[in-house]
Amino acid sequence: MGEVIYRMGELFCGPGGIAYGALHTDVPGQKIVHAWANDFDYDTCQTYIHNICPESPNSVINGDVRCLDFDKLSPIDALSFGFPCNDYSIVGKKKGLEGEYGPLFEYGAKALEKFQPRWFLAENVNGLKADTKAFSIIMNRFKDCGYDLYPNIYFFEDYGIPQKRHRIIIVGIRNDQHKVFHIPSTAGYKKKTCKEAIEHPPISKDAPNNEFTKNSDVVINRLLHIGPGKNAFNSDIPTEFQLNVKGARLSQIYRRLDPSEPSYTVTGSGGGGTHIYHWSEPRALTNRERARLQTFPDDYVFYGSKEGVRRQIGMAVPCEGAKIIFEAILKTFSGIDYEWTAPNITEEQWRLK
């Protein structure tokens, strides 16, 4: 038999972390190729085109998914979509299905109904599971499209990703395929620290997206009084450099990395104090250093303003994490055994009563 090729479409594609992982899988006789992608942000689409499909720029449609004409898209065998997480994030207002972004999962469901891909991968923040009603509605909607579902909260640091990033990944397999997906085991993966990820090998001075952020003297002096792994609220900072903040004291504010641990979660938004700070130098990380924590290769070029690039990197799925899950999917379809573990989300937890 020849090689089995899965043409993959992607909604809410972001800068291409999922796609890069998919296109770089290494499973004998199985291959994923790009078919088309969609994202709302122009610069994000330019990043995706440059790194994922430079030979077919028109296959990436920049625009609101609510205006996307599915009838003009080519057939696909696989679908991936990291539907917007803003309304499910534990640090947001948690509007869930009542928010502006919460209902957008429905466009993933519509694509499943339209194209009936053999399998799909959907991603969201682990805060989605806390909204039990929304989670049940979403899962049952996907199930009703004709898919067996395998949700799991992936703790990416357990898979050797240099970042404590926890995300719900839902793998769906069309129920006429008669395949059972298993969660890939974390056995055999070595913990990778943020220091190791950023320094080995050293980042070239002319690497793209490696510009330093200009920090004020106040910020620099504040950071000089914050130790590795500490933040602005649990450090002994002189009065003149302390934050004049009332109410919530978020642990991520001016938090420096612990060089002996994976990074805390790379985020795509937030004001001063949320940029992720170097463990020994009094500065924020560069976008290239953040990209390393998301396992993007150094030749992966991001388009847009510095803040726009920061947002793209923070919203992405770690390339290597996506690759691990895609390889498990391909092994499932090819009948190749692999080490697996029990899921941490059961059907009883999401099925509507």
CA–CA separation, 280 and 294 (whole Å)? 21
Q: What is the pLDDT of residues 310-332, one digit of tens each?
A: 999 999 999 999 999 999 999 99
Catalytic choice (13, 85, 145, 319): 85
The backbone torsions φ and ψ at residue 337, rounded to the nearest 5 degrees and listed phi first, read -70, 145
Domains of the chain: 4-188+316-350 (3.40.50.150)
Would you call 85 a catalytic residue per the annotation? yes
Q: Which two tokens stand for residue 282?
A: 């009094």
**DSSP SS3 for 274:** coil
Inter-residue contact 343 to 152 (CB < 8 Å): yes
Single out the residue of 144, 151, 75, 65 nearest to residue 115, CA to CA.
Answer: 75
CA–CA separation, 252 and 98 (whole Å)? 27
pTM for this predicted structure: 0.93
For residue 94, what pLDDT is reported?
47
Give residue 107's Cα distance to chain centre.
19
Q: Which two tokens stand for residue 205?
A: 């001075």
Q: What is the pLDDT of residues 95-131, one digit of tens each?
A: 444 545 557 899 999 999 999 999 999 999 887 877 7
CA–CA separation, 198 and 95 (whole Å)? 36
Single out the residue of 292, 298, 314, 303 nearest to residue 49, CA to CA.
Answer: 303
Q: What is the pLDDT of residues 12-35, one digit of tens each?
A: 999 999 999 999 999 999 999 999
Sign, Cα dihedral of 144, 149, 154, 160: negative
Q: What is the pLDDT of residues 235-293, one digit of tens each?
A: 888 888 888 766 555 677 899 999 999 999 999 877 778 889 999 999 999 999 999 99
- Mean pLDDT, residues 65-84 taken together: 95
Q: What is the pLDDT of residues 208-230, one digit of tens each?
A: 999 998 889 999 999 999 999 99
CA–CA separation, 274 and 296 (whole Å)? 21
Percent of the chain at pLDDT > 70 equals: 92
